[in-house]
Amino acid sequence: MPAIESLEVWMRGTQDRQASMLALISIEGRIPPDHPLRKIKAMADQELLKLSGVFNRMYSKVGRPSVAPEKILKSLLLIALYSVRSERQFCEQLGYNLLFRWFLDMELVEESFDATVFSKNRERLMEHEVGRLFFEAVVGQARGAGLMSADHFTVDGTLIEAWASLKSFRPKREDRSEDNDRGDRGNRWVDFHGEKRSNETHESRTDPDSRLMRKGPGKESKLCYGAHALMENRNGLLVDLLVSQATGSCEREAAENMLKRHRRKAVRVKSLGADKGYDTHDFIDFLRGRKILPHVAANTQRRGGSAIDERTTRHASYSVSQRIRKRVEEIFGWMKTVGGFRKTRFKGTERTQLAAWWVGAAYNLVRMAKLVV
């Protein structure tokens, strides 16, 4: 019997709590060959190599070496891809996450980034608009691989919550010294029920660029930005992103700006799909003036009637565009739920725009990885 008991213990195995003195571990060998991040890493590295000259101009030739900008930008991709809540949390996870270290080409013995140093280096990338350059490079890679349509597109917009609370939404003409003269440090704007507020009379002290908006009747009002996407209709890839102040006409104004921007790039847009919010006579005339077919959903309840008539709806391509345009909601859904862009972490239109480039590039890379064999 004693021999049988010892045999059972040996077959079960024991928990050895003594650390090995020497271990040879290859991070590359720990990542499965078919891991989806492999394709994303290869595509990102390809475009970052082309931006090497831009990175060289960003840094001085003297002083201590900084964190490689390629690692910072790929870290921002990981934050979006894996829904990491903050840069500080990412730096903490980088200390023990082998997948993250492999993606950043870091050795096991390398120290993780300091959160403060990481944020300062990210600020440098924002100042030089590296996010925009990287996004455009990813779009160029997709276009070169034949993954994008050159003729048919869809436009849409959504609201992105600003990094500011309604308590900061105060009268524009208010004397700002009043709060400093008060004996207590409390916020006397906590209770604002029953008070009429509008963007004409009030503004946020925390983020003056944000605007008070709501998605529709019965919805709560929030301080927001408008985020606008131009999508190609072949595979649902992002072609352009624009962040603007949230106004009643911001969607149509942003669509016009994005179309003008692509016209300068010699992109010939033949048709543009959109929802009912774009059905105005001014916008439809703008499209037709540039020989773009307005595949816009007809809003028959609009005052003055719909600008869409049988000249457009009689074509079979109109129904196709209306069916495909719903894919743009998948882009916004991914950016908000996975990419963490439901609420911006930055203040100001310009900085929120730069953050949108990173999330948009991450979405395109995920989509391209599924399309490339």
Q: What is the pLDDT of residues 209-231, one digit of tens each?
A: 999 998 888 888 899 999 999 99
User: Tens place of pLDDT for every residue, the chain, 373 residues?
Assistant: 555 555 555 566 666 666 665 566 788 888 999 999 999 999 999 999 999 999 988 888 887 778 899 999 999 999 999 999 999 999 999 999 999 999 999 988 889 999 999 999 999 888 888 999 999 999 999 999 999 998 999 999 999 999 998 888 888 876 655 554 444 455 555 556 667 788 888 999 999 999 999 888 888 889 999 999 999 999 999 999 999 999 989 999 999 999 998 877 767 889 999 999 999 999 999 999 999 999 999 998 888 889 998 888 998 999 999 999 999 999 999 999 999 999 999 999 999 999 999 999 999 999 999 998 7
The CB density around residue 105, as the number of other CB atoms within 10 Å, is: 14
Residue carrying structure tokens 């002083």:
63
Residue carrying structure tokens 């104004």:
253
Residue 181 is predicted with a pLDDT of 47
Residue 64 is predicted with a pLDDT of 79
- Cβ–Cβ < 8 Å for 210, 204: yes
- Cβ–Cβ < 8 Å for 36, 365: no
Planar angle of CA 365, 367, 370, nearest 5 degrees: 110
Q: What is the pLDDT of residues 120-142, one digit of tens each?
A: 999 988 888 899 999 999 999 99
Say which DSSP state 343 is in: B
Distance between CA atoms of residues 297 and 364, nearest Å: 26
Residue 75 is predicted with a pLDDT of 96
Bridge partner list, 202: 171
Residue 184 is predicted with a pLDDT of 47
Rg, C-alpha atoms of the chain: 26
Distance between CA atoms of residues 294 and 311, nearest Å: 10
Distance between terminal CA atoms of the chain?
60
Torsion sign (Cα): 362, 296, 254, 196: negative
Residue 209 is predicted with a pLDDT of 95
Bridge partner list, 245: 225
Domains, in order of start, for the chain: 149-163+223-353 (3.30.420.10)
| Nearest 10 degrees: Cα torsion 84, 86, 91, 97 | -10
- The amino acid present at 290, given as its one-letter code, is R
- Cβ–Cβ < 8 Å for 297, 274: yes
Give the global pTM. Answer: 0.88
Listed in sequence order, the residues at least 6 apart from 357 whose beta carbon sits closer than 8 Å to its beta carbon are 131, 132, 134, 135, 241
Listed in sequence order, the residues at least 6 apart from 352 whose beta carbon sits closer than 8 Å to its beta carbon are 160, 162, 225, 243, 344, 346
Which candidate, 224, 239, 211, places its Cα nearest to that of 357?
A: 239
Planar angle of CA 59, 349, 276, nearest 5 degrees: 135
Residue 195 is predicted with a pLDDT of 72
Residue 84 is predicted with a pLDDT of 95
